[in-house]
């Protein structure tokens, strides 16, 4: 207001003669100097028109309560607040910096009270409000590593530091220091105050979240800086915390900006200024604590306050929530009991056992949409093991009695150790109540039988593919019969148990009927099981499953793959011959390749086709001793050995051949009779007339 009055007087004086006008302007100049030498201001909070005299930059904001928040809880921030007008730091014609006095109230709230925050704030006199090159962390937004300690900085500061510096020399993480052109303090002490002259010094935590008042006084005559701090409602101590001889005459410029700077780093906290007063060449006006804005609350307190608003609703819903929890816990344990495995002692001795719960999860609860195939022995489901995310096939077999289940599982667990590239790997097993679950590799292309007789699904197999598949199955049977630690009789070799992987490579599967015995020993009598057309005739007499039985089944598979017909077609007329009879008759007539699958359209190697058909008939001979071993079969197929040239179909006692019809029983009534056994004469054995759709595992 005084300045406006002076301007008004100036306008009125324009009509006055020039000598008088000169003395008048000289008088105004002296008044201006007097005003600049004794400038003072006071902020009892920062609201209304008073904030027009403030300049904020960086992260600084004015809060709704009227406090300056220099930084928030974010990391690597800088926030500053300056008095917008520059201060004249020297009296007229004086070489000494003027005295000044300031007092302010600040609050530092760490992000986590248990860990602490950073990095503090500082009162400063600086030549500019922007401070180029300044960095965060312990540089407090005042200086940086490039200019720290430079005489050209012209920066005076009093720091209130809450973190030990990595690049500056700090005495501890809770101190007050006087800084001259450098963040390495000229003098510093741990934050504390003197209650009175005789009382011991009291420690004071800067980041306590409580308001702290600070007084900074510079005596331009004595050239001494005094710094004093205390809690807000404690009177100013008569003894300063820091008192150091400092001559600011060589540090300060003619005009300087007064204000505050704060920074965070990896440690973070909120830094507030609640009130501030300043005076040149005199004592700063005192602050009235009752007029300061409300104290900022720590973050955790704000959270508790918000939670407290809804405490009534929470209490009223507690009973319902507890009831829901009890219900869910009950259902959870009932579900666990439902799928809990009750193991007998002998089961613990068998390896490769899967928990039922894992298989239930893998197959989506044995959902119908996951079924790969089904038949007389059970269903096969596609599954994904929860632990490894590996795709598997899970075969579910239902047993109505416990007879032999222990021996069965022991053998299945033993088979899990087999490794051959043309065998479906048996990962393991599980017994749950009256169900047996077998876990195999998942074969994406299904079974050989499905492709042979449902070629619309995946196309017609070429002869090269068929011949390669037959050699692969022969290699797998050789491994089972001779190369593994025990003799393994598969007992169910057929097209539907030959599975094809993604590369159409064969894998012999379904070891649910397999039997094991030691090398050099005889096979034990067992139940008669198998599939019509693939079962060796001697099984009805001896009940013993030997490697000769597998050779017979493989011979039927050779004829089936070459001719594209099943060994026995249950849907055919009574006059249609069995597959082995038909191929034998074609051989006898000198035109064996006429039995080849017409879907091949003569696209095959004639020598290989003849070899497969003749070898199939040789393997299907009635007498087991007359059949070749699987080692001999593999030698014939890979060309390392040749079939005897003197073999004629008339001399082969082929099972089902009309040339030997007088030696066959004819109880089944198939065309020409079937030298076999009826389904009702197996003495409790199990015969399958088909196989699982889509392949058996």
Tell me the catalytic residues.
492
The contacts of residue 96 (CB under 8 Å, 6+ apart) are: 90, 220, 221, 223, 249
Do β-strands 391-398 and 371-375 pair in parallel, antiparallel, or remain unpaired?
A: unpaired
Q: What beta strand segments (E) does 130-268 contain?
A: 156-161, 175-180, 187-190, 192-194, 201-203, 212-219, 224-231, 242-245, 255-263
Written as six digits, the tokens of 500 are: 């094809």
Quote the longest CA-to-CA distance of the chain: 158
* CA gap 81, 58 in Å, rounded: 9
From residue 369, alpha-carbon distances to 359, 373, 449 in Å are 15, 11, 22
Q: Locate tokens 């044995």: which residue?
A: 366
Contact 70, 54 (CB under 8 A): no
* CA gap 321, 314 in Å, rounded: 9
The contacts of residue 565 (CB under 8 Å, 6+ apart) are: 559, 579, 597
Contact 206, 228 (CB under 8 A): no
Considering only CA atoms, which of 405, 370, 675 is closest in space to residue 540?
A: 675
Query: Which residues make beta-bridge pairs with 395?
Result: 380, 438
Judged by DSSP in three states, 249 sits in: helix
* CA gap 62, 67 in Å, rounded: 6
The contacts of residue 365 (CB under 8 Å, 6+ apart) are: none
Is 266 labelled a binding residue?
A: no
From residue 221, alpha-carbon distances to 36, 90, 224 in Å are 18, 12, 8
| Concatenated DSSP letters of 300-335 | HHHHHHHHHHTHHHHHHHHHHHHHHHHHHHHHHHHH
Query: Which residues make beta-bridge pairs with 245?
Result: 224
Instruction: State yes or no: cis peptide before 119, omega within 30 of 0.
Output: yes
Residue 160 CB neighbour total at 10 angstroms: 25
Give, as one character, the DSSP assignment of residue 97: B
Contact 26, 34 (CB under 8 A): no
Query: Within 13 A of 451's CA, how many CA atoms are on the CB side?
Result: 22
Binding-site residues for ATP, please? 396
């Amino acid at each position: 207001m005084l300045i406006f009055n002076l301007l008004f007087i100036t306008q009125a004086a324009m009509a006055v003669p020039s000598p008088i006008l000169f003395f008048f302007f000289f008088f105004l100049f002296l008044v201006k100097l007097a005003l600049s030498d004794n400038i003072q201001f006071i902020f009892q909070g920062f609201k209304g028109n008073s904030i027009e005299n403030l300049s904020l930059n960086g992260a600084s904001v004015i809060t709704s309560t009227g406090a300056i928040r220099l930084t928030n809880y974010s990391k690597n921030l800088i926030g500053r607040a300056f008095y917008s007008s520059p201060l004249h730091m020297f009296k007229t014609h004086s070489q000494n910096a003027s005295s000044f006095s300031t007092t302010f109230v600040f609050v530092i709230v760490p992000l986590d009270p248990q860990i602490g925050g950073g990095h503090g704030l500082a009162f400063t006199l600086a030549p500019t409000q922007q401070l180029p090159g300044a960095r965060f962390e312990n540089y407090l937004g005042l200086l940086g590593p490039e200019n720290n300690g430079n005489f050209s900085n012209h920066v005076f500061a009093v720091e209130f530091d809450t973190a030990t510096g990595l690049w500056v020399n700090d005495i501890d993480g809770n101190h007050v220091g006087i800084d001259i052109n450098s963040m390495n303090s000229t003098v510093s002490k741990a934050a504390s105050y003197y209650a009175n002259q005789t009382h011991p010094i009291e420690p004071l935590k800067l980041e306590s979240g409580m308001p702290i008042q600070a007084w900074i006084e510079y005596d331009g005559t004595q050239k001494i800086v005094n710094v004093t701090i205390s809690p807000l409602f404690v009177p100013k101590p008569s003894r300063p915390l820091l008192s150091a001889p400092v001559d600011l005459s060589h540090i300060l410029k003619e005009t300087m900006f007064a204000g505050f700077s704060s920074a965070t780093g990896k440690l973070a906290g909120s830094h507030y200024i609640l009130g501030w007063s300043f005076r040149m060449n005199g004592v700063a006006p005192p602050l009235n604590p009752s007029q300061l804005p409300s104290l900022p609350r720590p973050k955790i307190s704000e959270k508790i306050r918000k939670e407290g608003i809804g405490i009534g609703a929470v209490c009223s819903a507690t009973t319902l929530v507890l009831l829901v929890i009890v219900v869910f816990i009950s259902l959870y344990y009932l579900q666990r009991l439902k799928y809990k495995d009750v193991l007998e002692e002998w089961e613990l001795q068998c390896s490769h056992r899967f928990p039922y719960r894992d298989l239930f999860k893998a197959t989506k609860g044995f959902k119908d949409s996951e079924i790969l195939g089904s038949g007389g022995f059970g269903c096969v489901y596609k599954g994904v093991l929860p632990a490894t995310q590996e795709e598997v096939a899970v075969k579910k077999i239902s047993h109505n009695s416990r007879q032999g289940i222990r021996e069965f599982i022991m053998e299945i667990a033993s088979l899990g150790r087999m490794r051959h590239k043309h065998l479906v790997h048996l990962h393991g097993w599980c017994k749950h109540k009256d169900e047996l679950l077998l876990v195999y590799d998942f074969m994406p292309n299904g079974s050989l039988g499905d492709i042979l007789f449902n070629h619309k699904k995946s196309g017609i197999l070429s002869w090269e593919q068929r011949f390669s598949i037959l050699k692969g199955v022969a290699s797998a049977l050789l491994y089972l019969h001779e190369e593994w630690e025990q003799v393994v009789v598969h007992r169910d070799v057929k097209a539907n148990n030959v599975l094809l992987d993604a590369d159409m490579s064969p894998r012999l599967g379904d070891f649910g009927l397999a039997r094991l015995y030691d090398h050099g020993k005889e096979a034990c009598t067992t139940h008669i099981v198998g599939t019509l057309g693939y079962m060796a005739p001697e099984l009805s007499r001896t009940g013993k499953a030997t490697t000769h039985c597998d050779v017979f089944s493989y011979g039927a598979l050779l004829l089936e793959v070459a001719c594209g017909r099943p060994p026995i077609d249950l849907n055919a007329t009574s006059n249609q011959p069995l597959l082995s009879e038909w191929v034998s008759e074609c051989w006898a007539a000198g035109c064996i390749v006429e039995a080849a699958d017409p879907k091949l359209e003569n696209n095959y190697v004639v020598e290989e086709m003849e070899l497969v058909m003749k070898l199939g008939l040789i393997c299907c001979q009635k007498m087991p001793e007359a059949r070749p071993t699987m080692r001999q079969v593999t030698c014939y197929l890979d060309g390392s050995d040749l079939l005897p040239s003197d073999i004629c179909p008339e001399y082969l006692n082929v099972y089902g051949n009309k040339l030997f019809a007088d030696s066959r029983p004819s109880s089944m009534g198939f065309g020409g009779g079937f030298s076999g056994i009826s389904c009702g004469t197996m003495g409790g054995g199990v015969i399958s007339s088909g196989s699982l759709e889509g392949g058996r595992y």
